[in-house]
Amino acid sequence: MEERTERKQHKRKKQRKKKRFRKLLLFFLILVIAAGAYVYYQYQQGLAEADGAFGKDGQFDFNGASANLDSMNVLLLGIDSRGEEHSRADTIMIAHYDKDSNQPKIVSLMRDSYVDIPGHGKNKLNSAYAFGGPELMRKTIKENFGVDVNYYAVVDFKGFSKVADTIAPEGITVTVPHEMSSGIGMTLKPGKQTLRGDKLLGYVRFRHDSQSDFGRVKRQQEVIGKLMDEALQVKTLAKAPKLWGVIDPYVDTNIPPKTFIVIGKDFLVGNQPDLKSLRLPVEGSYSNERISGIGAVLSIDLEENKQALQSFLN
């Protein structure tokens, strides 16, 4: 009799455990579905706010060196085509990721650097994109500076304002050194101020002063560093799906989604130091010249800048 009672009690316990397990499983399933719905909704909301030029990723042929997930170089190209099919690159950068050092690095290459472009002779560096897209820019950088890149990302400047406002809706605080107006379609007054959207874009694109492109590159690196800091804040991470929806139509890249996830995880769990930056050509390694048929260029000491780049990345 007692043995029969024990069997019944044991059976009821097993049934209760099964019910609890099914409830727990159902709860997690609901969470996954809800999270998926949230991500999809936020992504679609971001897409609805965008009007970019790129319908899909990987539109360009690119033969960069194979990369592992421990270290890689990404070629970042900022363009403002304004309807042109073969525009020059406005901004040329190399973003470097290294898992061991956990140190984010970015290199800005001056677009007027006078270099050898494979198959096209000597010209300004930014014309490589017009002649042959990201692949020819990759070849040009490798031939002149001895560094290969693994992936590319072409960014349409039309999306910069929306991306910046999604990452930092309160704006980015900068110090405008003097009045800026020529070539940016607005007037920025001097002084410390918080800029959003088109005004922030005007700040990073202005170049009609004594510093020309040198000042612009410095401001670009400044703003990228501040946007990175904002992007890693918890309040911004909650908007990540929407942010990607906003960015996606303005960016064409061949970086695999898995790589994005791994790098993003490392940035989130690691203690990230401040962004380290380099500008090429380095100070004292160039002179201003004017070439017939090409215009004003930076004649650079290739060997000195090649060593500076390799030392910085390694």
HEC states along 215-282? HHHHHHHHHHHHHHHHHCCHHHHCCHHHHHHHHHHHEEECCCHHHHHHHHHHHHHCCCCCCEEEEECC
Query: What integer pLDDT is reported at residue 84 of this predicted model?
Result: 53
Say which range, 63-72, 210-219, 236-245, has the weakest mean pLDDT: 236-245
Question: For the residues 243-250, what does the mean pLDDT come to?
Answer: 76
User: Does residue 288 carry a pLDDT above 80?
Assistant: yes
Query: What integer pLDDT is reported at residue 59 of this predicted model?
Result: 76
Per the model's pLDDT, the better-predicted residue between 249 and 153 turns out to be 153
Query: What integer pLDDT is reported at residue 239 of this predicted model?
Result: 67
DSSP H helices, the chain, are: 2-48, 127-145, 160-167, 197-205, 212-231, 234-237, 240-247, 257-269, 302-313
User: Does residue 86 carry a pLDDT above 70?
Assistant: no
Query: What integer pLDDT is reported at residue 40 of this predicted model?
Result: 47
Query: What integer pLDDT is reported at residue 82 of this predicted model?
Result: 56
- Sign of the C-alpha dihedral computed for residues 230, 231, 237 and 238 taken in this order: positive
Spatial neighbors of 258 by CB under 8 A, at least 6 apart, are none
What CA–CA distance (Å, rounded) separates 155 from 163? 11
Question: For the residues 112-122, what does the mean pLDDT come to?
Answer: 97
The residue written with tokens 């040198």 in the block is 214
Could you give the domains of the chain? 71-313 (3.40.630.190)
The model's pTM: 0.80
Per-residue pLDDT tens over the stretch 24-82: 666 655 655 554 554 445 545 655 665 655 656 667 889 988 877 778 899 999 887 65
Residue 300 and residue 116 in contact, taking contact as beta carbons nearer than 8 Å:
no
Per-residue pLDDT tens over the stretch 261-283: 677 666 655 556 678 999 999 99
Question: For the residues 218-246, what does the mean pLDDT come to?
Answer: 77
Say which range, 25-29, 224-228, 245-249, has the weakest mean pLDDT: 25-29
Say which range, 8-22, 103-117, 265-279, has the weakest mean pLDDT: 8-22
187 token code pair: 């007037």
Burial label for 77, CB within 10 Å (0-12, 13-18, 19+), is: buried
User: Does residue 144 carry a pLDDT above 50?
Assistant: yes
